[in-house]
Amino acid sequence: MTGNRWAGEAARTAALRVLAERGGLAVTLVFYVLVTVVLASLWRAAVGANGGSVAGYSVVAITWYVAMTEATTVSIRQRLISDVGRDIGSGAIAVELLRPAPVLGVRLAGELGHVLPRLAACVVTGGVLSTMVSGPPPEPAALALALPSLVLAVACNLAAQYAFAGAAFWLRDAGSAWFLYQKLVFILGGMLIPLEALPDWMHRVASVLPFRAMSYSPARLASGHFEPVLLVEQAGWLVLLLAGAAAIFRAGERRLQVVGG
Amino acid sequence: MRSRLETWITAVPNLKWNLDELFGEGDRLCAQFTFTGTHRGPLRDGRGNELAPGRKALRIRGVGVYVVDAGKIIDSSIYSTSAPSEARRGRRNSCASPTPGQPRYGMAIEVRHLTKVFETGRRRSLRRVEAVDDLSLTVEAGERVAYIGPNGAGKSTSIKILTGILHPTRGEATVLGVVPWLDRRRLAARIGTLFGQRSLLWFELTPRQSYRMLAAIYGLDRAQEQARVGDLAELLEAGDLFDLPVRNLSLGQRMRCELAACMLHEPEVLFLDEPTIGLDLLAKQRFRELLVRLNTERRTTIFLTSHDVADIEHVAERAIVINHGAVIYDDDVTAMRRTLLSTKLVEVGLSEPAELPTIAGVSLLEHSATAMKLSVDTTTTSIRCVLDTVLDGLPVVDISVLDPPLEQVIAAIYARPRR
* Interface contact A9-B217, CB threshold 8 A: yes
Query: Please, which pLDDT band fits residue B86 given cuts at 50, 70 and 90?
Result: very low
The helix/strand/coil state of B174 is strand
Residues of A with CB under 8 A from a CB of B: 1-3, 5-6, 8-10, 12-13, 16-17, 20-21, 92, 94-95, 97-101, 106, 256-261
Report CB contact under 8 Å: A6, B189.
no
H helix intervals, B129-280: 155-162, 184-188, 207-217, 222-235, 251-263
Return the pLDDT at A198.
Answer: 93
Please indicate, yes or no, if residue B411 is contained in any of the structural domains: no
> Residue B302 — very low, low, confident or very high, per pLDDT cuts 50/70/90?
very high
- Which H or E run contains A218? helix A216-222
Query: Does residue B215 sit in the same domain as residue B281?
Result: yes
B359 lies in the same domain as B378: yes
* Distance from the Cα of residue B386 to its chain's centroid: 41
Q: Are residues B362 and B347 in the same domain?
A: yes
Amino acid at B21: E
Separation of alpha carbons A149 and A142, rounded Å: 10
The rounded distance, in Å, linking the Cα atoms of A6 and B185 is: 14
Alpha-carbon distance A124 to A114, whole Å? 17
Q: What is the pLDDT of residues A107-133, one digit of tens each?
A: 999 999 999 999 999 999 999 999 999
Residue A134: its pLDDT value, please? 92
Is B188's CB within 8 Å of A98's CB? yes
Please report how the helices A80-90 and A140-165 are oriented relative to each other, as an axis angle in degrees rounded to 10. Answer: 30
Tens digit of pLDDT for each residue in B31-80? 777 777 766 666 655 445 565 556 666 666 666 667 677 666 666 665 44
Sign of the Cα torsion A243, A244, A248, A254 reads positive
Of B73, B96, B119, the residue that ends a domain is B96
Q: Are residues B220 and B124 in the same domain?
A: yes
How far apart are the C-alpha atoms of B283 and B199, rounded to whole Å? Answer: 17
Question: Measured between CB atoms, does B185 come within 8 Å of chain A?
Answer: yes
- Note whether B79 and B178 are within 8 A (CB): yes
B273 forms beta bridges with B195, B305
Same domain, B314 and B169: yes
ipTM computed for the complex: 0.82
DSSP state of B227: H
Who's near B76: CB < 8 A, 6+ residues apart? B8, B45, B46, B64, B65, B66, B67
The CATH number that applies at residue B132 is 3.40.50.300
Which residues on chain A are in Cβ contact (under 8 Å) with B245? 20
Average pLDDT, chain B: 80
Note the pLDDT of residue A212: 95
The answer to whether residues B295 and B226 belong to one domain is yes
Question: Distance (Å) from the C-alpha of residue B213 to the closest C-alpha of chain A?
Answer: 5
Measure in Å the smallest separation between the Cα of A20 and chain B Cα atoms: 6
B118 interface with A at CB cutoff 8 Å? yes
Q: Are both B6 and B155 inside the same structural domain?
A: no
Q: Looking at residue B77, what is its pLDDT? A: 62
Please give the residue of chain B at the shortest CA–CA distance from A255: B166
Does a structural domain hold residue B304? yes
Q: Is residue B407 part of a domain?
A: no
CATH, residue B381: 3.30.70
- Asked if A1's CB is within 8 angstroms of B185's CB, the reply is yes
Q: Are residues B320 and B382 in the same domain?
A: no
User: How far is the C-alpha of B234 from the C-alpha of B129, rounded, in Å?
Assistant: 46
Decide if B103 is inside a domain. Answer: no
**Contact B79/A at CB under 8 A:** no
Q: Could you give the number of structural domains in chain B?
A: 3
Q: Are residues B330 and B288 in the same domain?
A: yes
pLDDT the model gives residue B60: 64
Residues B212 and B176 in one domain: yes
Check B217 against A6: CB less than 8 A apart: yes
Out of A161-170, A206-215, B57-66, B79-88, give the one with best mean pLDDT.
A206-215
B211–chain A nearest CA distance, Å: 10
Helix/strand number for chain A, H first, E second? 12, 0
Q: Which residue of A has its CA nearest to B95?
A: A1
Boundary of a domain, candidates B315, B336, B357: B336
**The overall pTM is greater than 0.80:** no
Residue B82 predicted with pLDDT over 50: no
Q: Note whether B222 and B82 are same-domain residues.
A: no
DSSP symbol at A54: B
Model pLDDT, residue B103: 36
Q: Is B412 among the domain residues?
A: no
Does B410 fall in a domain?
A: no
Domain boundary among B336, B356, B378: B336
- At residue B57, the pLDDT reads 63
- Does the beta carbon of B98 lie under 8 angstroms from any beta carbon of chain A? no
- Residue B47 belongs to domain spanning: 2-96
Task: State the pLDDT confidence band at A5, using cuts at 50, 70 and 90.
Answer: confident
Sheet holding B371-377, edge to edge: B362-367, B371-377, B343-350, B396-402
Q: Judge if B197 and B329 occupy the same domain.
A: yes
